[in-house]
Structure 1
Amino acid sequence: MSKRRPSLVLFLPAVGGDSTFWEPQVDALRGSYSPLPIDLVRSAARVSMAGFAEDAMRAILATGHEDAHLVGQSMGGVVALELYRRYPDRVRSLTLANTWAFQPEGAARSQWVEEQLGKMTLAEFSRMNMPDLFAPDTRKDIIERAVSVESRKERETYLACWREMLKVDLRPIIPRIRVPVLLVGGEKDRLTPTRPLLTGMQKALPSARLVELPGASHFSNLDRPEAFTKALREHLDEAEDKGP
């Protein structure tokens, strides 16, 4: 009897991040699962959450897998929800970290980013803002690498991502989700606060498990990698036990 190959876990990054932001989780899961972190990259004119969801679906199928566990952070969580909306039968579970189904302050946040990048470079903007998205005790080299990654992004594409991700309203699909859901927040995350963004999703889907990591900020998987990975692994294992 041939051994069943490990299930695919697709990691989707935040707007300022990339595939490398998932290294602690990818390293921890390798062997038990098939972790695949991808980048979400399009030209500014082609940016949309639907387009990123299609790109992610193509990445899944390119591996030869028919479905995947989805792990998304911030914008990546929005893309994960959009992918589930389009292809529910291709999703084994959802892990939604520091994210939202709807941003009540989305228009104001998007306008603020536009204004900031109208008077400074993206590198300057990242230097000013990225460190505040981490916990005070997160290693400085991790924060510096994050600043470097965001600083190298293409300005117009970055702005387009902010516009598109903050105008979505995916609340109607939350009660219809039929796969295991893990919601992860950071106690100190002011950009995407657990309350009301994640608690609102849990209220609409009581079966979802909500974990708020003490001391963590927006990049909770890097602020508290061990705790994040522990919650993720438990969630994936439980989802596997329930089967497709």
Structure 2
Amino acid sequence: MFASKILAFAKSSLARDASKYNPIKGKTRVGFDRGQPVDIYHEIHGYGEHKVLFITGWAGSCDNWKFQTEYFGRHGDFQVCIYENRGSGFSSAPLKRYRMADMAHDAKELIQHLGWKNVHVVGVSMGGMIAQELALMMPDRVRSLCLASTHAGRAFPPAKYAPMVMSTLAKIALGLEEMKQNVPKMLYSHNWLYSPAPPETGYDTNLEYIQKFHDGRIDERPPQSIAAAFAQFTGILRHYVSAARLRVLAERFEKYSIPAMVVHGTEDCLVHLKNAYDLASNLRARLVVFEGRGHAMNHEDIDTFNSLLLRHFYTAILGKECEAASRAGWQAESSTHSESGGALVLHDQSPLSSARQLLGMIANDPKLYIEWLSAHREALKASH
């Protein structure tokens, strides 16, 4: 008993000053009972009470979540796990089993290895697909769910981006071009790429800054094999979670007050905004739209994305959204409109874009709540 109290005190002390401690890095072997064991590389950041699992996307390394792990790992209330999917980075690359359900099993066994009884799950792109399967696989352990830049399956890129996307993905998968050469145009909005970079970065444009970030991230890891890249991509193409399965999950979330959130950018060239709407509608999740942002909103709008997640986590922890918004630093400055029964919250008075008008027309679900974060905002604004 005395030893457990000492350990609890030590953990609380570390949580209060987590910035002084380096992340714990290692590998966990999973998949023993699925025919082919896989070594999953992972990192643990922070010592807080509340656990967060970040799941990355296709061909991605776990430090795609760098700007989130630095924030939540040093926050004090949270402990973060980031990891690399089978076939990516420092994780091993088996010859088969790259369905989203297979990779969700990997995540489930990793969570079990860590001894986490419940967890806030955040997935982006392919990671969001894995997160859907994971939530269905272990709904009793999911404390909250956030799905960013993703879909439930059978989806196509926006028509205006489709030729570029399919051509680029094919070249990468076949090894004709390197991933890092194409990352910026695939993941970020054009306007953001050619905007001035933050002064502290030392770069003139965001393009120069983010290209350097990805170059370093990719060069630090073993190159992904063509076979592994193709296997992951095939898993994405096969991904499908039916509306019926999502509604089963939605019923559980509503019964136990588990918040679910879908986040999407209007300039995402890989996933159409309509897919985010469908996912949120079937999951009965809050839909948050980043106007003018691309696939990697967590890089383009770091502070906003982190504060959004913080409000989301605190909503699950505290059970009171107003208090959660206050603790996350969100200001109650917005105008609210009802479009055919659905709640559409506009965060400032900027002109309506064509995409926002589309959402206004299709927001006919009385239970769906949409938040629109304007690209013209000068400061973080939100409502509660």
Worse-matched range after superposition: 230-239 or 35-44: 35-44
Q: Secondary structure at the match of 1:88?
A: coil
- 1:175 — aligned with what? 247
Q: Secondary structure at the match of 2:214?
A: helix
Give the conservation status (yes or no) of the 8 Å contact 1:122–1:155: no
- 1:223 — aligned with what? 300
With over 3 angstroms needed to count, the CA separation of the structure-2 counterparts of 1:80 and 1:113, relative to structure 1, is: same
Shift of 1:142: 2.1
Q: Distance in 2 between matches of 1:65 and 1:162?
A: 30
With over 3 angstroms needed to count, the CA separation of the structure-2 counterparts of 1:202 and 1:114, relative to structure 1, is: closer
Give the conservation status (yes or no) of the 8 Å contact 1:134–1:143: no
Note the alpha carbon deviations across 1:134-177, whole angstroms, 9 max, x for none: 13324223234335656832211111111111212113321122
Q: Does 1:127 align with 2:172?
A: no
Shift of 1:187: 1.9
Q: Distance in 1 between matches of 2:229 and 2:114?
A: 28
Q: Distance in 1 between matches of 2:262 and 2:302?
A: 15
Q: Distance in 2 between matches of 1:53 and 1:120?
A: 27
Q: Distance in 2 between matches of 1:45 and 1:166?
A: 15
With over 3 angstroms needed to count, the CA separation of the structure-2 counterparts of 1:38 and 1:163, relative to structure 1, is: same
Q: Secondary structure at the match of 2:140?
A: helix
**Unaligned residue ranges in structure 1 (runs of 5+):** none
- 2:82 — aligned with what? 37
Give the conservation status (yes or no) of the 8 Å contact 2:168–2:182: no
Shift of 1:240: 1.2
With over 3 angstroms needed to count, the CA separation of the structure-2 counterparts of 1:129 and 1:221, relative to structure 1, is: closer
Q: Secondary structure at the match of 1:76?
A: helix
With over 3 angstroms needed to count, the CA separation of the structure-2 counterparts of 1:40 and 1:131, relative to structure 1, is: same
Give the conservation status (yes or no) of the 8 Å contact 1:16–1:149: no
Shift of 1:232: 0.7
Shift of 1:104: 2.8
**Unaligned residue ranges in structure 2 (runs of 5+):** 13-47, 87-92, 194-205, 321-384
Structure with bigger helix share is 1
Q: Does 1:72 align with 2:123?
A: yes
- 1:201 — aligned with what? 279
Q: Distance in 2 between matches of 1:114 and 1:215?
A: 23
Q: State which of 138, 142, 158 in structure 1 corresponds to 2:210.
A: 142
How many positions carry a matched residue from both structures? 239
Q: TM-score, normalised by structure 1?
A: 0.86
Q: TM-score, normalised by structure 2?
A: 0.56
Q: Secondary structure at the match of 2:143?
A: strand
Shift of 1:93: 1.1
Shift of 1:122: 4.4
Q: Distance in 2 between matches of 1:150 and 1:113?
A: 17
Q: Does 1:99 align with 2:150?
A: yes
- 2:263 — aligned with what? 184
Give the conservation status (yes or no) of the 8 Å contact 1:113–1:159: no
Among all aligned residue pairs of Structure 1 and Structure 2, give the percentage whose two residues are the same amino acid. Answer: 24
Larger radius of gyration: 2
Shift of 1:127: 1.4
Q: Secondary structure at the match of 1:142?
A: helix
Q: Distance in 2 between matches of 1:16 and 1:193?
A: 20
Bigger relative contact order, structure 1 or 2, given CA contacts below 8 A and separation 6+?
1
Q: State which of 215, 231, 244 in structure 2 corresponds to 1:160.
A: 231
Shift of 1:121: 2.7
Shift of 1:204: 1.6
Shift of 1:205: 3.0
Q: Distance in 1 between matches of 2:238 and 2:216?
A: 27
Give the conservation status (yes or no) of the 8 Å contact 2:268–2:294: yes
Q: Distance in 1 between matches of 2:174 and 2:228?
A: 17
With over 3 angstroms needed to count, the CA separation of the structure-2 counterparts of 1:27 and 1:148, relative to structure 1, is: closer
With over 3 angstroms needed to count, the CA separation of the structure-2 counterparts of 1:79 and 1:119, relative to structure 1, is: closer
Q: Does 1:116 align with 2:171?
A: yes
Q: Distance in 2 between matches of 1:159 and 1:234?
A: 37
Q: Secondary structure at the match of 2:311?
A: helix
Q: Secondary structure at the match of 1:70?
A: strand
